[in-house]
Structure 1
């Protein structure tokens, strides 16, 4: 038969009904700290082994308060030793751990009340935690699994490794340990703990192998930190951890370091390694005050061995995990006494908030059990310390608490609050689900011990020089046999008396073994009968539950039939909607096809317009070239004609100078003939307009008078005020004052068309493009291309040019063939005449 092995505790199920749930109260103990003060300064008095009396000091808050009695499960006086505290509080938790029940132990009290001393102790006086480790390793000494057989899976569970993988990790661990300093510091007082008087506990399953894993965390400012994480020593800001829920709905710290330990010394070494990283600080109340809650967890992992009693069964489902969490809470303190500031004040505030959350959770649990149901939400998530141990308060283990009290009158206020908290905690009952019983057909009990005895016997035979022992195989059935084979029964020989004696001895041994087996059988029958009774009860309960489930099943079937009818109706509606959707998709495809056809036509029209625009542009360019060629020819003819006139005048001037130099008073005929011409020329010069009225060019015959009638382009008269023009100027526009300026009443001047809306505007009707160049004589020549803005069918616009103006500026005394000496450059020339020609396009 397969023995009973408790599984990892989980949530309550329907099988654990209210009448089968066993409730255990939170066991609260009180330990009074030893003090050297006289009784006058003490506010606490032990009345009985389970009661203390708290008396307020004199003139407390100006009124007389009466003494208050508080009861506990047991009160440890100042004479109580660490051994007494462990036997009453810690040892039962270790026994439950061996039997498959998890446990939680708190130490609670004000700062400096002895919490850390009770939990850890001193090198010469061990506390609860070292003594728990000592008892555990003494109990599982002969049934420990080899290192690295169990490995954490980072999800609060464990996996079983094969022999090859475990051996490889053991070799790597050994190499890592040898590379470090192998010299052990025996003078270290942290590890030199005194041996306790603990003994081995009963109830261990010898057909299983065990392994112990430890974790050490602290909760500082409501953040969880791993004290055993590699590389965190010396790091300024260690990484925070997250509290999560595993597949069995148990809370755990994700990513925490779990160290496998094989002895008490290894566990204590890991503990003191994390203790060096724990946050401690000096306050006015305590020289070494804990500024965080520390949680040291001992996890016991158990798995059965195979039928031969040698190796662990490679099945993750057979692993049993339970844990013992030892919590050293930080002390509650008041700012008025500690005078903390800065970081210490923030730490004290977070400590007090977490302790208040713990008290609120206990009060909520007490109210819920008083009303007989869950009527109030327990605020586990308000603090990490309560969120981490939510499963214990929900019924997954036993909870115990040690209240450490300081009898000093100075701590009366804080001690009063601690006693009230303990009073609330004692009234809370934690439900404990009934453990499941596994009575399925299993392997033979005692197989591991029988295999061990068989190997020892075979080694002894081999040591005697008998080689036939190599062929022997273990038979676990021998454990329950009445003995070996009967001796020879031949009585006709001379050794008949000796044979009878051997037979009598053999029969006596068989009778003794038979009586022992009958006694064992009776015990097993009683156990089997009790388990069978429990199974029958469970079967009856299961039958009632099955009947209930069948009734629910009938209701669900009726409901499913109704839902099937609704489903058929919905499917019909869905089919109609699918048909409509198909029709709409077809219409959509047709519309998309029409849209694509129209897009193709539109693209064709756009291409035709682009081609037409290109042809018009080429035609305009050719016409512009022709006009420019004709203008150049006319300019050259005019220049040649003016040159001839100037040469003729120069001849006459030379003739007049010769006459004057000869002293003749009578003018020559050429001179007489030239006077009307000179007079005519003078009138032409006087009638020549000046480019800028502010800068007049002096001449020998008087000042030139500007004529406004010849200052502007003849075509840009500005008579039509409804037209709106776009005046496109060159990037480097030479200002010409008013000589070439077009009179456009409504216009918009720009150098570059950036926004196409400037052209496609419905209010724009005309467009002029201005080009400035320098002719062959260095004079400024400006061309104005005019056109109409015509909108297109695609929403754009095109310009159709219909007129070209060429405006040229010349000096009043300049000749067509020769540049006048001292004439300004085109950029500075502001005087001159405005000649224009308007060819037709």
Structure 2
């Protein structure tokens, strides 16, 4: 559609660069059609048809254009103008049927319906009962055409990246058994069964490639408030809370909706079920100008996948490189509307603003494309400003067929909006799109046409040849598989030998003629192949040169992208570092605040605990003072008792000494002395008291007078004195009341003497196997006990003592700082000569020493040896 002035202006503005570009790549303009809606009531119309391709617009007196420009009429030219009485079939045949034919042949197509709200766009695209529109008719014609050459379900499977994978028949059968179809509803649940037309009303497209297998996939999306939603996604049928999808670019630089649900369709009824499922989710609303106004742009895409069969004409070639994918997108744009007419508010106002913004972006992209094509420039086209233009970017910059139906309402109230629509249509008609190039994939890999038909004929002949009536069957298999039937049987011994020879000659002549025919056919095919190879070589040279230039551009772009990526990486690293520091500082501040609060709580708790402890200590102090007073009284009474007992004992000892001097009976004296010692030991030594030391002359069991002959002849057993027992066990320095660990061997000879240390709160171990025996809070001292014989053969016990000190790693170490040595002498052994001469044999000798460099002198009051040893 172009006016006369616009055509003249376009020819004047063409440049040599644009003419040269047209010679390289053939382009077709966008075909724009106009359809007028019938008038709903008798009133003045502002649009009139003056020819099959031209309309005349006259502004009414109420229009804004009338006040600005006066009663100026405008003419607009289209590819074709459909009057109000035009039916749906006529519109489909003129506009959509060529796009369906291109879809079958492997071409991409795009069809828009554009206009003011209430102008009949949805009616033209969808239709109504028993008067279906473009979309249902496209589906009916497609399935009528490819019904006999459809592939089985799941032979072609979407790979979620806008491409398809090819599966074998076995894999497809497993898929069909495991997965149910998502839209399996049946005819009785069909929302509108009148859209499925009868076969007599359909137009079948001729010239389909019977050596290919076809599969149809459909998607249905809407663009609402500049966001893309999948209308066929799994979920409740009436649910409109759908996730937002994003638009991406595939490997072939085609735009597609990522993650969209792509449904494989095997009949027109299944396609209608999918379409009506999405139609229920589509956002519609009531406005002042339209009872059912579309609040979003809807895009119904039909993708046709075709692949050649193998040389036997049976299965699809298992190589996705040989796939041919074509698509037809049917777009029902939302109508443009003015707020002062619709009086929209709130959500409806926001929807109208997004609709008008997306349509304005579409117009801006068309203007930029037209300027680039007319002036030969390469200015940026703002496709990304709107989802609808971003989705169909590859149609305007790539290959395909683009059609637009401008729907107009001729009433006077819509004149201003209709005028803007006509101006946009005039500008869009000047945009050109490159023609799609069709490539015969089967010819490129050396496959001949007619493979499937020849296979069917061969299969039929093979099935029928075993029947009895096969002799009368005449079947022409053509030049497909062999030179002819087998040789006839030869039996030259019979009387009909001449007849057999004639049959053989006829058979050989037929085979010779068939061979000559095959040779001629082969020569023709070789010549075609040679010419095709020459063309391919020519195209290869052009592609190589173009590829070299593109590689240079790609290298420059990659360098630029790499530099930007490095800057972006550095910026992200710095941002992450700052973010990490901020997080650390925030955590540190929070930790300090928590620690401060905990310390304040601890201080208050400690203060309370101290007050409680002070009260407890005060009570304990008072109780202890009272106990001390009572204990002092008990000690005083015990001292008095002990003093009386000692005086009584001294009196008895004096009596015994006098009896010994008089030479009385020793047995009686010994018995009395033993009884007295036992009584004294039992009576004098009470638990917790410290016994007093006896005089030295009382500890000596023999008299100090010189011995007589009778005394020398007396046995040693008769000369023994009274053994004095002392139950005290705190003479060792180890008995200091701390937590001790006694480490001693199993076979330790017991020492029942006063030298045996008694360690309170001690733990006795034979072998250190666990570190917890030493490394605990209750243990602070360590004692290692060993026994051996000295040079005189006497038993000697050594106590190696030390402090237990905890280590940093949680263990403990022992620092030895003292050694005690204990000895016990036999009372029957004479220690030296001087003792034997003096006759002063000890009843029992025990030694305990701590080395200090010298030994203390012996005193007559104590005949036992005592030594102390200090080892640090």
Query: Taking structure 1 as the reference length, what is the TM-score of the superposition?
Result: 0.57
Instruction: Establish whether residue 326 from structure 1 lines up as the match of residue 330 from structure 2.
Output: yes
Hey, what's the Cα distance between the residues in 2 that align with 1:18 and 1:248? 23
Q: How far off is 1:182 after superposition?
A: 5.6
Name the residue aligned to 1:68.
74
Name the residue aligned to 1:170.
176
| Conserved? CA contact 1:125–1:194, under 8 Å | no
| Conserved? CA contact 2:185–2:273, under 8 Å | no
1:74-127, CA deviations, whole angstroms, 9 ceiling, x for partnerless residues? 111122221111111111111111111111100001111111111112221221
Q: How far off is 1:204 after superposition?
A: 2.4
Given candidates 43, 46, 50, the residue that maps to 1:47 is 50
Hey, what's the Cα distance between the residues in 2 that align with 1:138 and 1:152? 24
Q: How far off is 1:246 after superposition?
A: 1.4
Q: How far off is 1:307 after superposition?
A: 2.8
Q: How far off is 1:235 after superposition?
A: 3.5
| Conserved? CA contact 1:113–1:404, under 8 Å | yes
Given candidates 447, 450, 456, the residue that maps to 1:446 is 450
Q: Which has the higher contact order (CA 8 A, sep 6+)?
A: 1
| Conserved? CA contact 1:304–1:318, under 8 Å | yes
Hey, what's the Cα distance between the residues in 2 that align with 1:502 and 1:87? 59
Q: How far off is 1:58 after superposition?
A: 2.9
The CA RMSD over aligned residues, in Å, is 4.2
Name the residue aligned to 2:95.
89
| Conserved? CA contact 2:46–2:411, under 8 Å | yes
Q: How far off is 1:403 after superposition?
A: 0.5
Name the residue aligned to 2:418.
415
TM-aligned CA distance change 1:84 to 1:549, over 3 Å:
closer
Q: How far off is 1:60 after superposition?
A: 3.7
Name the residue aligned to 2:372.
368
Name the residue aligned to 1:779.
none
Q: Which runs of 5+ in 2 are unaligned?
A: 1-19, 471-475, 556-624, 630-872
Q: How far off is 1:436 after superposition?
A: 5.6
Instruction: Establish whether residue 484 from structure 1 lines up as the match of residue 485 from structure 2.
Output: yes
| Conserved? CA contact 2:187–2:269, under 8 Å | no
Q: How far off is 1:535 after superposition?
A: 3.0
TM-aligned CA distance change 1:407 to 1:263, over 3 Å:
same
TM-aligned CA distance change 1:296 to 1:478, over 3 Å:
same
Hey, what's the Cα distance between the residues in 2 that align with 1:170 and 1:101? 30
Instruction: Establish whether residue 241 from structure 1 lines up as the match of residue 242 from structure 2.
Output: no
Give the 5 Å matches for 1:376-525. 376-432=379-435, 434-435=437-438, 440-462=444-466, 479=480, 481=482, 483-485=484-486, 494=496
TM-aligned CA distance change 1:143 to 1:166, over 3 Å:
same
Give the 5 Å matches for 1:44-193. 44-58=47-61, 60-61=63-64, 62=67, 64-173=70-179, 184-185=188-189, 188-189=192-193, 191-193=195-197
TM-aligned CA distance change 1:523 to 1:83, over 3 Å:
farther
TM-aligned CA distance change 1:340 to 1:242, over 3 Å:
same
Question: How many pairs are equivalent?
Answer: 536
| Conserved? CA contact 1:220–1:293, under 8 Å | yes
| Conserved? CA contact 1:32–1:407, under 8 Å | yes
Q: How far off is 1:457 after superposition?
A: 2.2
TM-aligned CA distance change 1:168 to 1:478, over 3 Å:
same
Name the residue aligned to 1:335.
339
Q: How far off is 1:19 after superposition?
A: 4.1
TM-aligned CA distance change 1:295 to 1:494, over 3 Å:
same
| Conserved? CA contact 1:123–1:193, under 8 Å | no
Hey, what's the Cα distance between the residues in 2 that align with 1:189 and 1:549? 55
| Conserved? CA contact 2:29–2:433, under 8 Å | yes
| Conserved? CA contact 2:213–2:316, under 8 Å | yes
| Conserved? CA contact 1:119–1:129, under 8 Å | yes
Instruction: Establish whether residue 22 from structure 1 lines up as the match of residue 23 from structure 2.
Output: no
TM-aligned CA distance change 1:91 to 1:499, over 3 Å:
farther
1:269-296, CA deviations, whole angstroms, 9 ceiling, x for partnerless residues? 1111111111111111111111111100
Three-state SS of the structure 2 residue aligned to 1:184 is helix
Name the residue aligned to 2:268.
264
1:208-257, CA deviations, whole angstroms, 9 ceiling, x for partnerless residues? 21100000111111111111111053445211111111122111111111
TM-aligned CA distance change 1:282 to 1:142, over 3 Å:
same
Hey, what's the Cα distance between the residues in 2 that align with 1:45 and 1:137? 38
Name the residue aligned to 1:220.
224
TM-aligned CA distance change 1:202 to 1:482, over 3 Å:
farther
Name the residue aligned to 1:306.
310
Hey, what's the Cα distance between the residues in 2 that align with 1:134 and 1:273? 18
Hey, what's the Cα distance between the residues in 2 that align with 1:119 and 1:187? 17
1:474-495, CA deviations, whole angstroms, 9 ceiling, x for partnerless residues? x999516553346579999548
Give the 5 Å matches for 1:348-747. 348-374=352-378, 376-432=379-435, 434-435=437-438, 440-462=444-466, 479=480, 481=482, 483-485=484-486, 494=496, 528=529, 531-532=532-533, 534-535=535-536, 537-538=538-539, 541=542
TM-aligned CA distance change 1:220 to 1:193, over 3 Å:
farther
Three-state SS of the structure 1 residue aligned to 2:290 is coil
Hey, what's the Cα distance between the residues in 1 that align with 2:280 and 2:488? 70
| Conserved? CA contact 1:215–1:259, under 8 Å | yes
| Conserved? CA contact 1:217–1:295, under 8 Å | yes
Given candidates 300, 322, 326, the residue that maps to 1:296 is 300
Three-state SS of the structure 2 residue aligned to 1:393 is helix
Three-state SS of the structure 2 residue aligned to 1:300 is strand
| Conserved? CA contact 1:98–1:203, under 8 Å | no
Q: How far off is 1:465 after superposition?
A: 10
TM-aligned CA distance change 1:35 to 1:163, over 3 Å:
same
Three-state SS of the structure 1 residue aligned to 2:336 is coil
Larger Rg: 2
Three-state SS of the structure 1 residue aligned to 2:281 is coil
Three-state SS of the structure 2 residue aligned to 1:459 is helix
| Conserved? CA contact 1:30–1:404, under 8 Å | yes
Hey, what's the Cα distance between the residues in 2 that align with 1:348 and 1:161? 46
Hey, what's the Cα distance between the residues in 2 that align with 1:52 and 1:369? 27
Query: Taking structure 2 as the reference length, what is the TM-score of the superposition?
Result: 0.55
TM-aligned CA distance change 1:47 to 1:527, over 3 Å:
farther
Name the residue aligned to 1:253.
257
Hey, what's the Cα distance between the residues in 2 that align with 1:36 and 1:516? 69
| Conserved? CA contact 2:240–2:281, under 8 Å | no
| Conserved? CA contact 2:217–2:303, under 8 Å | yes
Q: How far off is 1:170 after superposition?
A: 0.9
Hey, what's the Cα distance between the residues in 1 that align with 2:256 and 2:487? 60
| Conserved? CA contact 1:480–1:517, under 8 Å | no
Three-state SS of the structure 2 residue aligned to 1:214 is strand
Hey, what's the Cα distance between the residues in 2 that align with 1:187 and 1:234? 13
Hey, what's the Cα distance between the residues in 1 that align with 2:335 and 2:89? 24
